[in-house]
């Protein structure tokens, strides 16, 4: 993954953090299998916190990033099974990130769920054209988020239900 834009203010950004908590509802994850890693890329701190809470409480290992550039760094450090990314972010938006991911053989198969505060047909068409696994409109309910994550993991051959 090559990040095309320089990252201004990188010294003031926190490093990505890994949150390991919760128990997955499914028996197979309680039997010692590797936890499913999900990378959340979201610039809104409160929404990022809610996404992390929903996913970690469902038993997923959650890694967070504050923008597309930070997400690229986190991705290079540890490959996730799935990415949940905001669309409208500074430095590298969700479309640009998705495009870069799909161009690289090492990351092309990682399913990406895009999140946006407003949905229009052009955005949805562009997301599908770039290879997004799903497209959710904020606010996202706990149930919709988990249903999307589980469906994307199942379709991709990941370790979802």
d(CA 64, CA 81): 14
Q: What angle do CA 37, 16, 35 make, to 5 degrees?
A: 15
DSSP at 133: S
Could you report the per-residue pLDDT of 44-93, keeping only the tens digit for each? Answer: 999 999 999 999 999 999 999 999 999 999 998 999 999 999 999 988 99
> Is residue 41's pLDDT more than 90?
yes
pLDDT tier, 120 (very low <50, low <70, confident <90, very high otherwise)? confident
What six digits make up the tokens of 120?
Answer: 């229009």
In three-state secondary structure terms, 8 is coil
Q: What is the CA radius of gyration of the chain?
A: 15
> pLDDT at position 159, please?
54
């Amino acid at each position: 993954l090559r990040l095309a834009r320089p990252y201004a203010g990188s010294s003031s950004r926190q490093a990505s953090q890994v949150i390991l908590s919760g128990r997955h509802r499914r028996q197979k994850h309680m039997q010692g299998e590797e936890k499913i890693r999900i990378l959340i890329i979201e610039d809104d701190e409160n929404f990022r916190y809610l996404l992390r809470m929903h996913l970690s409480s469902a038993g997923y290992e959650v890694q967070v990033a504050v923008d597309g550039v930070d997400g690229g760094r986190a991705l290079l450090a540890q490959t996730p099974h799935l990415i949940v990314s905001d669309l409208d972010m500074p430095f590298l938006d969700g479309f640009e990130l998705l495009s870069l991911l799909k161009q690289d053989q090492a990351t092309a198969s990682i399913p990406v769920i895009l999140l946006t505060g407003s949905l229009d047909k052009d955005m949805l068409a562009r997301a599908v054209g770039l290879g997004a696994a799903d497209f959710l409109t904020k606010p996202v309910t706990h149930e919709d988020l988990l249903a999307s994550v589980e469906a994307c993991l199942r379709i991709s051959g990941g370790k979802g239900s």
